[in-house]
Structure formats: C-alpha cells, structure tokens
Structure 1
Amino acid sequence: MVSGKDTLAFNTEPFIKIRKDLHQIPELGFQEVKTQRYLLNYIEELPNKDWLEWKTWRTGILVRLGGSSPTRTIGYRTDIDGLPIEEETALPFISEHPGMMHACGHDLHMSIALGVLTYFSGHQPKDNLLFVFQPAEEGPGGAKPMLESEEFKSWKPDRMVALHIAPELPVGTVGTKTGFLFANTSELFIDLKGKGGHAAYPHQANDMVIAASYLVTQLQTIVSRNVSPLDSAVVTIGKIAGGTKQNIIAENARIEGTIRTLTIDSMHLVKERIEGMVKGIESSFDCELSIDYGANYCQVFNSEAETSAFIDFVKELDYVKFFESEKAMTGEDFGYFLEEIPGFMFWLGVGSEHGLHSSKLNPNEDAIDCAIRLLIDYVKGA
C-alpha cells in the first residue's frame, strides 16, 4: 500500500478558502471574467517561473510547467463555469451573483487544480505538465473550440486527465471505469409559431400551447418505440413556455430539453424521429416549427491502458477507496479531449446530501485535500 506520506507535508488548507472565494463568483460559459482574473492573480504569484508559463484563451487559461527530464506532457483539465441556478444553501459564502451558482462543483475542481499546480510550481515535475482551465463546460461547450485553438495545439499534451465530483459517494472514494463513462448529449430547443387570437374564437387561431402539448407527448415515444431495448437513450423535456395571458390563444411556444444516448447512431436516430414529428405537428396544426440542437457533446470514453493503470494505482493507496463506476447518462465535453488524446475522467466522492445541479449542493470540502494528494502522487508515479 502507498501512504502518500510525501504529500502530507504539503498544506492544502489554503485551497479550501480559494474554493469559498470561487464559489461566490459563479459565471456562465464564456463570461467567466472575474473567475479568470482570480485564477490569473493566483498563478502570477506562483514561484519558480523559470519552468512555469501561461497564456489565456478567451476566458480560459493554459498553464505549462516544464519537466526536469521530460519524455511527455501530462494534461490536467478543470472546468471553471457555473450554472444559471439560484443558490439555496444558506452558506456564509453563498453566491454573490443572483441567479448563478457553482452547482456542479467546478469551484472544487478549480481549487484542486490550483493545489496540484502550486505543489509542482515548487517541486519541478519530471515530465511536462499542462493545466487546462476550460470555460463553458455547462454550455455552449468550451472543450472543442479550446482543443482546436492554436494556444492549445502549441502545448498539446500526450495524456489528458480530469475529475468530477460525485455527491453520492463518500469522501475518500474514487471511481471510474475503462471505456464508456458518460453519454453522447445534445441540447434541444424547439420554437413553435402559429396564429394568436381571442380565447372566445379558437377557430380563428392556431394554438401553440396545444401544439406544444401534442409534440411533448409524442417525443416521449421515441425511446420506448424507436430505440432498441438493448440500447439506451433519454429524451427529457425540462421546460415549456407559451402564451402571454389566460384569455389569449398562444401564437408562440418554446420547448427546451436534452437528448442522451449511448451511441452516435442512436443520437442520429433520435434526431431523425424528432424532425419527423416536428413536420407532422406543422402539418396538423398549420404552423411553423424550428429546431436548435444547441450544444452537442460526444461521449466520454476512457482509454484502456491509461485508465487501467490509474485504477491499479488507486487500489494501492491507503487513503482512498476505489469504486467501480457504471455507465452514466451524464454529459461532459471532456469527451472531445479524449477523442484526440489518450486519458480518462474519474469521479471524486464529496458526500453531499444534494446532487449535481441542485440549488442546495454542499460538497464536503475534505475532498479537496484528498484529491490534491491523489493527483500529486499520481503525477509523480505516472
């Protein structure tokens, strides 16, 4: 067993305060101006700049540490954006931005990344390290354009690693698996335009509340009647909006949802069926519909060799417990990095009563120390 004694002397307490600071300033995708400035202020104060350099990309940051005798570059990605959720935790460091919250743990993700970066800024690693502070994971998707940027390409790593907090797992637990981890995902926005009118004269109008209701009901048959029972898919409608007043027939309506599939072929199938149903609604209700698929994320598929080696490494540690993960229909744009670069994502237990994207998410901050030690030991032994 490996005790991680070498990292015990490294003080991780400051990164709990950093987490609290970042928790108070959540910002939406590609709007992370305060967050980027906070991170840059910290990075600029790090020691040993002779092997440390950085550059920005939009609202993100890339930080490179040159190794003492490098044979490769290990990349570590953290997401930095928040969600459009009104926080309901009553924490003393509650979000200062109304209607926005770090409800997916990206504040912890950043704090952990800064902890690992700080350690290696004072202890030069053998191999090169690249820390990727990526914007817009929650949408519209920052991984793909960042991956394609000249800034990233010039420092492109040979391996990519990332973590995500898992509220349902206790602190001290790490979970992952080889192969498929997270689903292919797509946003779904459908706008309906008909003809408004007086509630007393429905025959003179085309009611988009009714049309939207029919469409939502039909969409729920796609998975049960078009996707193979041996496959898996999800079509969830999370929001419907339409009309202006109780006695006015709605001229417009909007449906918002998400699609999750295990395979790209199933994603294409689901979208084909949605488009067919939309045409049917247009004909039935004499109206116009438009579809926007918004952000599309590919699956997170962990590389066999790199993931297996990480699992073996975790199992030898005495301060964490390994958990064999199952496939999940969660979406993560880290999958775009893994399409081009071998690597993996893993779950980090944070023991919260409330789950991801909850307005009451409250992760146990002890997980920060656990993750920093784990990643330092992993990089040193990789």
Structure 2
Amino acid sequence: MTTSLSPFVRIRRDLHRIPEPGFQEFKTQAYLLNYIATLPQDRLEVRKWRTGILVKVKGTAPKRTLGYRADMDGLPIAEETNYDFHSEHPGFMHACGHDLHMAIGLGVLTSIAERPLADDFVIAFQPAEEGPGGALPMLQSEEFRQWRPDQIVALHIAPEYKVGTIATRPGLLFANTSELFIDLRGKGGHAAFPHLANDMVVAAAHLLTQLQTIVSRNLDPLDSAVITVGKIEGGTKQNIIAETSRLEGTIRTFSADTMKLVKSRIEAVVAGIEASFGCAASIDYGANYHQVFNDERLTREFMDWLSARPDIRAVECRPAMTGEDFGYMLADIPGFMFWLGVDTPYGLHHAKIEPAEEAIDLAIRTVSDYFRWKSEQP
C-alpha cells in the first residue's frame, strides 16, 4: 500500500476487508467508533443504536439540524476483484459500495467536527440496508427521534457515471420494492411413476412463466414494474419427483398502487397453480422498501448549487428500479439522495465491482461544502 493514499481511501480499504450482514456489523461498528473517538470531542455526542451509530456535532448558532446517512452492511457475494485488500469474510463482500459510503461519511463528519457548522449536524451510520432493512426501525427509535434532522441527505455510488458526475432528480428517484418468496408443496415419488406423484418442479416452471405475464398483460403499458425470480429450488435427486419447490425474487414498481396490483395478481396466479396442480402454496413478501422520493425544492436547490462547481458535472437522471430503504427517511424528513459516479464496468452487486476511489475525496469535499453553504442560508 502506497503512502500517498488519502486517509479516507485507507479507511475505505479497511472497511472493505470486513463486510458483514445486516444487524451483524459488529466489527464495522467498532471500527467506526474507534475512528470517531479520534475526532475533536468538544461538540461531539455519540449514540449507538443496535449495530448502527448516530453522531451529533453541535452547531455554533443552530437554527435547525442537518442530517446525513451512510449505510454499513455488506452482501453475501464471494469477491472476485483484483484488490490486494480482499474481503476477509469468505462469501461476503462490499459489492454495493457501502464501504465507500461509510468512508465518505467519516470524511464529512471529520470536516464538520473540526470546523463546526452554524447548524447542528447529525450523521446516521445505518445498518441492514441490504436487508432486512435498518432505516425504518432506526427512524422510529428514540435515539433518532431525539436528534431528528430537519433535512437529510444520502448518496449511492453509480458505476455507470464518470468520477466527477453527480446525478439526481426532484421527485421519484428509486422504486418501491418488495421481496418475494413462494413455496409450493405437492407429493413426491419415483421418477418412473409420475402419475402417482405431484411434481413441484413442473408446478414451479409453470408459475415462473405465468409470473412474467403480469407486467406484460396486467399493467398499463405506460406504467413501470419488474418481477424478477432470481432463485429456484426444488427436488433432491434426478430420479425423484420433487415434493417441494421454492421461488425467490423481487418486485419493483414506480407507484404504491402498482405494487398493490402486482401483489394481487401474484396471489391470483399462485391460487391458480394450487388449483391446477393440486398443491399447497404460501407467499411471503419479506422486506418491503418505500420509494425514494426526493424533495422537489431541496433537490432543485442542490442541483443549482452543484452547477456552479467546476469539479462537478451535475446530471438530471431518470428514475431507477433500484431499491433503497433510505426512502423511509425521505417519507418522514425532507431531503434527497443522489448518485455518485465511480466509473467501473461492473454493476452494483457484482463480484468484480471496483469503484474508482478518487470519488471518495471528491464526495467528501462536495457534501461538506454543501452543508456549510446550507447552514449559512436563512
């Protein structure tokens, strides 16, 4: 490791080595707390919430509280990068950029702790964004309620944009999302006697194809939705008719009403499979995330502010089917989320993603400067 690295790039690399699942970010929490303890403490207050952290920097003449959120958890993905700072937790990786998000958050906190704003500032290091969802319970916690910001901001890395690009939009940015788990139970048997059994692999195959007709045949063509089944399990051996099968997937929609419609159609299709194949079925929607809806005025104000910066290319992007539990915070607190360009050919949740680390210090400067500017506004 060279000696010329930014301290926050070093921090990102340290955090990249220790990805942890949601609500199990114990090493991550300890690392963040150890760093936070090195900052000037005269205006700093720190609270733990489960495996997350809330930090408040008291302002010099506060008239409001400005907030920032950084997520913490990793993903169950085996890393395939070329890094020499590989994940030390087999089967887990920071494949969604939360290592960068935390390093940027620490950089912003450092800037504000060393030179406090006029306004109070709160940063939330939030666990379990990838599941089962940490934003909503953190938002509802007594610790957060006592320090509730009047405005909140977050970012997410974007592999498709060059470093120096920030993309966002007023209004809808990310979709409503829901997990989807469907279990089918029939009757197993010998492969040579299918008439004496009730094959749940065949039932699952029919269900899979029927699910794909919901978007194409039940939704307005001008509406937007996605149903993706990413995993199917069924059977135990090639010559045994499967007694059970399981489909695991996700639903994405741009409106809450469309989400309700999609789920009602899924339930109708599954009921039809039960009747057609004489099986029993159950549906579990798992974690549901609220859409990310940016405050119109604050987002436009931010984009106008960005346009004056020579180091940033501001882009108004289209909405994405991405899911983010930060949407729960934006449903309760005015604010916005934006994409941060990190210029890598591999997408989010890919085992080979290698975000450009130059984006870290750029983001720290930009976010810190924005909060300083915002704190000076009436």
**Shorter-chain TM-score: what band?**
over 0.9
Contact 1:86 1:101 in 2 (8 A): yes
1:56 aligns with 2:77: no
Describe how 1:27-38 pairs up with structure 2 within 5 A. 27-38=20-31
Could you list the runs of 5+ residues in structure 2 that have no partner in the other structure? none
Aligned position for 2:66: 74
1:22 aligns with 2:22: no
1:317 aligns with 2:317: no
Q: What one-letter code is carried by the residue in structure 1 that aligns with 2:168?
A: T
Residue 105 of structure 1 and its aligned partner are, at CA, apart by 0.3
Contact 1:12 1:372 in 2 (8 A): no
Listed one character per residue, the Cα deviations across residues 60-118 of structure 1 (whole Å, up to 9, x for unaligned) are 00000000000000110000001111110031001111111100000000000000101
1:270 aligns with 2:253: no
What CA distance in whole angstroms lies between the structure 1 residues aligned with 2:5 and 2:72? 20
Q: Quick one: which of 236, 241, 244 aligns to 2:228? A: 236
Q: What one-letter code is carried by the residue in structure 2 that aligns with 1:330?
A: T
What CA distance in whole angstroms lies between the structure 2 residues aligned with 1:302 and 1:295? 22
1:133 aligns with 2:138: no
What CA distance in whole angstroms lies between the structure 1 residues aligned with 2:322 and 2:59? 35
What CA distance in whole angstroms lies between the structure 2 residues aligned with 1:112 and 1:357? 19
Q: 1:150 to 1:12 in 2, by over 3 A?
A: farther
Task: Give secondary structure in 2 for the equivalent of 1:220.
Answer: helix
What CA distance in whole angstroms lies between the structure 1 residues aligned with 2:240 and 2:39? 61
Q: Structure 1 length normalisation: TM-score?
A: 0.96
Contact 1:12 1:115 in 2 (8 A): no
Contact 1:143 1:334 in 2 (8 A): yes
What CA distance in whole angstroms lies between the structure 2 residues aligned with 1:122 and 1:85? 37
Q: Quick one: which of 202, 211, 219 aligns to 1:210? A: 202
Aligned position for 1:166: 158
Describe how 1:245-324 pairs up with structure 2 within 5 A. 245-324=237-316
Contact 1:67 1:128 in 2 (8 A): yes
What CA distance in whole angstroms lies between the structure 2 residues aligned with 1:179 and 1:370? 25
What CA distance in whole angstroms lies between the structure 2 residues aligned with 1:12 and 1:101? 22
Listed one character per residue, the Cα deviations across residues 242-293 of structure 1 (whole Å, up to 9, x for unaligned) are 0000000001111011000010000000000000111111111111111110
Contact 1:232 1:261 in 2 (8 A): yes
Describe how 1:362-373 pairs up with structure 2 within 5 A. 362-373=354-365
Give the aligned CA root-mean-square deviation in angstroms. Answer: 0.9
What CA distance in whole angstroms lies between the structure 2 residues aligned with 1:263 and 1:222? 16
Aligned position for 1:195: 187
Q: What one-letter code is carried by the residue in structure 2 that aligns with 1:16?
A: V
Aligned position for 1:40: 33
Q: Structure 2 length normalisation: TM-score?
A: 0.97
Task: Give secondary structure in 2 for the equivalent of 1:329.
Answer: coil
What CA distance in whole angstroms lies between the structure 1 residues aligned with 2:114 and 2:290? 36
1:13 aligns with 2:9: no
Contact 1:183 1:329 in 2 (8 A): yes
What CA distance in whole angstroms lies between the structure 2 residues aligned with 1:124 and 1:214? 60
What CA distance in whole angstroms lies between the structure 2 residues aligned with 1:148 and 1:62? 13
What CA distance in whole angstroms lies between the structure 1 residues aligned with 2:265 and 2:184? 17
Q: What one-letter code is carried by the residue in structure 2 that aligns with 1:278?
A: V
Contact 1:12 1:369 in 2 (8 A): no
What CA distance in whole angstroms lies between the structure 2 residues aligned with 1:353 and 1:228? 33
Task: Give secondary structure in 1 for the equivalent of 2:76.
Answer: coil
Contact 1:173 1:349 in 2 (8 A): yes
Describe how 1:97-116 pairs up with structure 2 within 5 A. 97-116=89-108
1:360 aligns with 2:352: yes
Residue 36 of structure 1 and its aligned partner are, at CA, apart by 0.6
Task: Give secondary structure in 1 for the equivalent of 2:346.
Answer: coil
Aligned position for 1:5: none
Q: What one-letter code is carried by the residue in structure 2 that aligns with 1:246?
A: Q
Residue 50 of structure 1 and its aligned partner are, at CA, apart by 2.1
Q: What one-letter code is carried by the residue in structure 1 that aligns with 2:232?
A: I
Q: What one-letter code is carried by the residue in structure 2 that aligns with 1:40?
A: L
Q: 1:12 to 1:375 in 2, by over 3 A?
A: farther
What CA distance in whole angstroms lies between the structure 2 residues aligned with 1:376 and 1:59? 25
What CA distance in whole angstroms lies between the structure 2 residues aligned with 1:330 and 1:125? 33
Listed one character per residue, the Cα deviations across residues 129-178 of structure 1 (whole Å, up to 9, x for unaligned) are 00000001111111111111111001000001000000000001111000
What CA distance in whole angstroms lies between the structure 1 residues aligned with 2:167 and 2:323? 17
Could you list the runs of 5+ residues in structure 1 that have no partner in the other structure? 1-10
Residue 45 of structure 1 and its aligned partner are, at CA, apart by 1.7
